Structure 1
Amino acid sequence: MSNPVNRFYAKRKKKRRWSEHGQAGPVTYVVPNLFTTGNLFAGFYGIVSAINGHYDRAAIAILVSCVFDILDGKIARLTKATSRFGVEYDSLADLVAFGVGPGLLMYLWALKPFGRLGWLAGFLLVACGALRLARFNVQSGTGSKKYFTGLPIPGAACMVATTVLCLLKIKGPDFSPVHIVFLLETYILGFLMVSSIPFDSFKELEVIKERPLPVLFVLVLLVTVVAAQPSVMLFIVFSLYVLSGPVRYVYRRVKKTRTAENGSSMHELPKENGSSAC
C-alpha cells in the first residue's frame, strides 16, 4: 500500500501541474456551479411562491435567477472553468427557473380561468423553453456570437416576470388579470423561443470598445431611470427587447425584397432599351 503522505504530495503536485499549464483546478469548477445552484434555488423558490399565491415574490425570484444565470457564465469564462458538466447543469437549472417557474406563474396568475387553453399555454411555454435550450446546446460554438437564434429563454421568463410586477404595481394586488392578452402573450413568447428570428446577444458590442465613456454614461442613466420605477421600467426594457427581434427581422426581409426588386429592374432596363431601338 502507498504511504498517505506520498498520496498527499502527489495530489499537490498534480494541482501544481494544472496551474502551470493554465488549467483550472477542481475548486475553480465549483464556483460557477455554486451560482448555477443559486439560479436553481431561486427558480424553485419562485415556483413555491407562485403556488402559495405570492406572485410578486415569484416574479422577483425569476429576475434573481436571471442575475445568477449571467454570473455563472461570466465567472466560468473568466476563471477558464467551463466544462461539459457545467453546461448541462446550467441547462437543467434554466429549465426549472425560466421554463417551469414562468409557465406555472402565468398559469396561476392569469390563465387558470381559461381552463384547458390556459394550462396548455403554460405547458407550451415550458416545452418551447426546453426546445430552445436543447437547440442552443447543439448549436453552441457554431453560430454568430452577436445574435441568438430565437428569443433566449431568460428573456421570455423576464418578460413574464416584469408583466406581473408592472401590473401589480399599477393596478394593485386586487387586480384580476383574466384577459385574452395574457393568453396570447404566452403563446407568442413560446413561438419566439423556437423561431429562427435573431435577437441581440450583447456579447460583442463594438460601440463599447470605441466609445467607453458615452456608453458608461448611458448605462448609468439607464440604471438611474430603472431604479426610479423598477417594475414599470423593467417591463418597458424587456418589452423593447422582445419586440426588437421581430421588428428587425421584418425590416431586413422588406429591405432584402426591395433590393432584389431593384436589382431585377436594373437588369431588365437594357433589354427594354434595346428592343425599342430596334
Structure 2
Amino acid sequence: MAKFPRRRAKNPAGKSLFSRFARRHHGEGARPRSRGIYLLPNAFTTGALFCGFFAIVMAMNQRFEHAAWAIFVAMLLDGLDGRVARLTNTQSEFGAQYDSLSDMVSFGAAPALVIYEFSLRGLGKLGWIAAFVYCAGAALRLARFNTNIEVVDKRYFQGLPSPAAASLIAGFVLLMTDMEVEGVLYPWQAWAIAIFAGLTMVTNVPFYSFKDINFRKSVPFIAVFLIALFFALISIDPPKVLFPLFVVYGLSGYVVYFSRLAKGKPVSIVQTSSEPVDQSERR
C-alpha cells in the first residue's frame, strides 16, 4: 500500500511560513538594525569630521576665512546625516557615537582653535583659558545630550547646541575677515563670544529645536515667499547677515527662559508625560 507523506504540523502560533514571511516583510517582528555600520549616513558624518579637521589646518595656516566656511559646511553635513539615516532606516548606535565624536572635533576643538589663533593669542593665559572654556563646554554639552535625550522635550535643546555655538565663533571670524579687520584688534569681543558660547552650552536655558515643524503639511503661499526672501537676503552679503542671525538665536533661549520665569511657568524642559521617545533621534 502506498504511503503518502504526512502534512507538516503548523507552527505553534498557528500561522503558515508565508504569513510569517509577509509579517517580517512589512516590518512586524523584524529585528531592529541597531548594531550595523551603514555607509550612507556615516559618509556624511565623515565629511563633517573632515571639515572640522580642515578648519583646524586652515587656522594653523592663518587662512581664517577658509576655516570659518569649513565649520559652516560641517554644520550642513551634520544636519543631513541624521535625516538621511532616518529616511533610509539605517540608524545605529555606532552612528550615534560616531556623530558625537565628529561633533566634538567640528564644533568643539576646531572653533576653539580658530578663535584662539584668530584673536585670542595676544591675551596670553586669558586667551587660551577662554578657548578651553568653549572646548570644555562643547564636550560637556555633547555628553549631556547623549545621556538626556530620552527625558528632554524634543521641541527644545537643553543649552545652546554645539553647532549654534560654533556658528557664533565662525560667524564672528567670517565677519571680521570680510571687513578686512584683523582679529587681534578685537580680542575682548572674541573673548566674550567664546566665554558666552561655552557657558551657554552647559546651562539649562531652552533653545527652540525646530523639530516639531512638519514639512509634509501644506503651508500658505506667503511662507514659501518668505523662505525665498530669506535666502535672497543671505546671498546679498552672507557674513553681515549670518552673524546677526546667529547672535539672535544665541540670545533667544534667554528670552524664552526669563519670559517663562516672569509668567510663573516651569522653565524645565524635562518631559513629564509618558510619550515614547523616538530612538531614531539619536541617529
TM-score of Structure 1 vs Structure 2, range by shorter chain: 0.7 to 0.9
- Looking at structure 2, the residues matched to 241 and 63 of structure 1 have their Cα atoms a distance apart, in angstroms, of 16
CA-CA distance at 1:181 after TM superposition: 1.9
Which residue is 1:111 aligned to?
Answer: 120
Report the CA distance shift for 1:70/1:104 in structure 2 as closer, same or farther (over 3 A): same
Which residue is 1:97 aligned to?
Answer: 106
CA-CA distance at 1:209 after TM superposition: 3.7
Which residue is 1:205 aligned to?
Answer: 213
2:235 corresponds to 1:241? no
- Looking at structure 1, the residues matched to 38 and 128 of structure 2 have their Cα atoms a distance apart, in angstroms, of 38
- Looking at structure 1, the residues matched to 197 and 107 of structure 2 have their Cα atoms a distance apart, in angstroms, of 12
Give SS of 2:150's match. coil
- Looking at structure 1, the residues matched to 40 and 183 of structure 2 have their Cα atoms a distance apart, in angstroms, of 42
- Looking at structure 1, the residues matched to 199 and 191 of structure 2 have their Cα atoms a distance apart, in angstroms, of 13
- TM-score, normalised to structure 2, is 0.79
2:83 corresponds to 1:78? no
- Looking at structure 2, the residues matched to 31 and 236 of structure 1 have their Cα atoms a distance apart, in angstroms, of 34
Which residue is 2:268 aligned to?
Answer: none
Which residue is 1:166 aligned to?
Answer: 175
Which residue is 1:189 aligned to?
Answer: 197
Report the CA distance shift for 1:174/1:110 in structure 2 as closer, same or farther (over 3 A): closer
Q: Indicate the percent of aligned positions where both proteins have the same amino acid.
A: 40
Say if 2:140 and 2:202, in contact at 8 Å, map to a contact too. yes
- Looking at structure 1, the residues matched to 77 and 83 of structure 2 have their Cα atoms a distance apart, in angstroms, of 10
CA-CA distance at 1:237 after TM superposition: 1.2
User: By percentage of residues, which structure has more helix?
Assistant: 1
Say if 2:159 and 2:204, in contact at 8 Å, map to a contact too. yes
Unaligned residue ranges in structure 2 (runs of 5+): 1-22, 266-283
2:258 corresponds to 1:250? yes
- Looking at structure 2, the residues matched to 112 and 18 of structure 1 have their Cα atoms a distance apart, in angstroms, of 60
Deviates more, 1:194-203 or 1:25-34: 25-34
- Looking at structure 2, the residues matched to 175 and 140 of structure 1 have their Cα atoms a distance apart, in angstroms, of 37
Say if 1:44 and 1:97, in contact at 8 Å, map to a contact too. yes
Aligned residue among 154, 175, 180 for 1:145: 154
Residue deviations 1:176-229 (CA, integer Å, cap 9, x gap): 434312111111111100000000101113698463533222111101100111
Which residue is 2:63 aligned to?
Answer: 54
Say if 1:149 and 1:196, in contact at 8 Å, map to a contact too. yes
The one-letter code sitting in structure 2 at the alignment partner of 1:239 is: V
The one-letter code sitting in structure 1 at the alignment partner of 2:204 is: S
Which residue is 1:10 aligned to?
Answer: none
Say if 2:205 and 2:254, in contact at 8 Å, map to a contact too. yes
CA-CA distance at 1:236 after TM superposition: 1.4
- Looking at structure 2, the residues matched to 179 and 215 of structure 1 have their Cα atoms a distance apart, in angstroms, of 40
Equivalent residues in 2 for 1:210-229, closer than 5 Å: 211-229=219-237
Which residue is 1:133 aligned to?
Answer: 142
CA-CA distance at 1:255 after TM superposition: 2.2
Say if 1:19 and 1:25, in contact at 8 Å, map to a contact too. no
- Looking at structure 2, the residues matched to 235 and 153 of structure 1 have their Cα atoms a distance apart, in angstroms, of 16
- Looking at structure 1, the residues matched to 33 and 93 of structure 2 have their Cα atoms a distance apart, in angstroms, of 14
Deviates more, 1:47-56 or 1:197-206: 197-206
Give SS of 1:111's match. helix
Which residue is 2:14 aligned to?
Answer: none
Give SS of 2:157's match. strand
The one-letter code sitting in structure 1 at the alignment partner of 2:89 is: K
- TM-score, normalised to structure 1, is 0.80
Unaligned residue ranges in structure 1 (runs of 5+): 1-16, 258-278
CA RMSD of superposed structures (Å): 2.5
- Looking at structure 1, the residues matched to 44 and 149 of structure 2 have their Cα atoms a distance apart, in angstroms, of 21
Report the CA distance shift for 1:206/1:85 in structure 2 as closer, same or farther (over 3 A): closer
Residue deviations 1:54-113 (CA, integer Å, cap 9, x gap): 011100000000001001011011111111100000000000000000000011111111
2:238 corresponds to 1:230? yes
Aligned residue among 177, 188, 199 for 1:180: 188
Q: How many residues align?
A: 241
Deviates more, 1:27-36 or 1:113-122: 27-36
Give SS of 2:207's match. strand
